[in-house]
Amino acid sequence: MLGKLTEKMQSLIGKMSGKSRLSHENLADAVREVRLALLEADVNYSVAKAFIQRVKEKVLGDTVLKSVTPGQQFIKIVHDELKTLMGEEESPLNLRKKPSIIMMCGLQGSGKTTQCAKLAHFLLKNDLAKKPLVVACDLARPAAIAQLQTLCQKIDVPVFTKDDVKSSLKVAKRVLKHAHDEGHDVVIVDTAGRLHIDQTLMDELRQLKKIFNPSEIFFVANAATGQDAVNIAAKFNEEIGMTGTILTMLDGSVRGGAAISIREITGKPLKFEGVGERLDDLQPFNPTSMADRILGMGDTINLVRQAKEHIDDSTAKDLEKKIRKAAFTYEDYLKQIQTFRKMGSFKKMLGMLPGMSGLKLEGLDENELFRVESIIQSMTPKERRGECELSVPRRRRIAKGSGRKIDDVNRLVKSFKEAKRFFKGMPSRNKLEKLMGGTPWR
């Protein structure tokens, strides 16, 4: 994600990291490169200007630490200022009221309807809501209600709608009593959008806000629209008074200007980011994570978070013991492949590791995991557990059963043995967690 911005920042890091001292000349060059990278990423001009000024003041005012070079300190200052620009810490949801009402606002095509279902799924997954309800108040767009119902059906969340009612305000009044009677603890409201901001839209949103008295009002912005998303967010905030932003389409190679600019312009936190098309591809916006990604430093915060969603502590500890005793089997390998696939794209996971985001992964064949899985599944239980040697006749049988060549089986056996040696020398899980610093979001 973030395309050219990350490439330019990584190039700058390469130039600066080896500098033993900072002269006025190389500092001016570095600052100029940062400014150009931000402007080309469609960061708001005034935001970029203020950011550069703060970086220059810090660089010129800071005493160089003995443990780092001046070049490294410059990079750290850029990283810290990016974090500050985007809000320092994750901003928690306000769910104190029962029911807590969340209004989703934005222009047509920004992804409001999809984000309603994603947010409901996120609340259930993280045990932040026991019984969420989604409300269809977008009566202007054809098929909006059907889309919402289809999405919410996948996560078993009810959608409140009234076919005989043509006014979103009447739907709003009826749903309040329904939510109270049915014991819903969170109500997510999908509001209407327009192709552009107009008075009719704003009037409707103001009236809905008056009826609902929401705990949160989220502006849903498509990150691919760049500078326009920032300007529209500022207008929505001025007219409606939003409490935060959800950025969508951050999984593509977008310029990223909206992610960097929106909080500074609106004064309201970035709450969530959409990073894919699946319903579980919504994650809390973390300024440290985003600063890491912009500078090409990976995304260990969200990598650890995703791993903890799919691997419980007891399973992880058992696996670590097996690895350290070299008792890791093909059966364990198969389970890890299946778990890994649940976490998403192989390329995406690799890109979240520090130092890997700059690698060209276009030639990486993600189907290789399926091939490995088919080979292991063609083994007998004893072969998977390592209770018998994989002789040549056994390998031929496994190759035939999986529809692969014997060379594929040989490669798997060789790579498996190498993996066991590699994992045996890795630092412990506790050390890794300390290095990554990720904690479950609450």
Q: Does the domain spanning 100-293 belong to CATH 1.20.58.410?
A: no
List % helix, strand, coil for the chain (3-state, nearest 5). Answer: 55, 10, 35
Position 313 scores a pLDDT of 61
Give the whole-angstrom CA distance, residue 146 versus residue 363. Answer: 39
Give the whole-angstrom CA distance, residue 86 versus residue 258. Answer: 10
Position 332 scores a pLDDT of 80
Position 102 scores a pLDDT of 96
Mean pLDDT by 10 residues, the chain (442 residues): 70 71 74 86 87 84 57 81 88 91 91 94 92 92 89 95 84 92 94 84 92 95 80 90 89 68 90 88 88 73 61 62 67 76 62 51 62 90 89 93 91 80 56 44 34
Q: Which two tokens stand for residue 372?
A: 């490995």
Give the whole-angstrom CA distance, residue 433 versus residue 143. Answer: 45
Position 28 scores a pLDDT of 80
Position 251 scores a pLDDT of 66
Closest C-alpha to 266, from 101, 119, 47:
47
Residue pair 353/382 in contact (Cβ under 8 Å)? The answer is no
Q: Which of 3.30.70.260, 1.10.10.60, 1.20.120.140, 3.40.50.2000 is the CATH number of 3-86? A: 1.20.120.140
Residue pair 48/4 in contact (Cβ under 8 Å)? The answer is no
Position 246 scores a pLDDT of 94
* Numbered ranges of CATH 1.20.120.140 in the chain: 3-86
CATH code of 304-436, in short, is 1.10.260.30
| Apex 64 CA angle, 63 and 70, nearest 5 | 140
Position 314 scores a pLDDT of 63
| pTM summary value | 0.70
Q: Which two tokens stand for residue 208?
A: 């809905």
Strand 270-274 and strand 244-248: the pairing is: parallel
Position 225 scores a pLDDT of 75
| Apex 389 CA angle, 383 and 395, nearest 5 | 70
Q: What is the largest CA-CA distance in the chain?
A: 76
* Numbered ranges of CATH 1.10.260.30 in the chain: 304-436
Strands (DSSP E) along 143-263, which ranges? 159-160, 186-191, 216-222, 244-248
* Numbered ranges of CATH 3.40.50.300 in the chain: 100-293
| Apex 71 CA angle, 65 and 72, nearest 5 | 60
Position 74 scores a pLDDT of 80
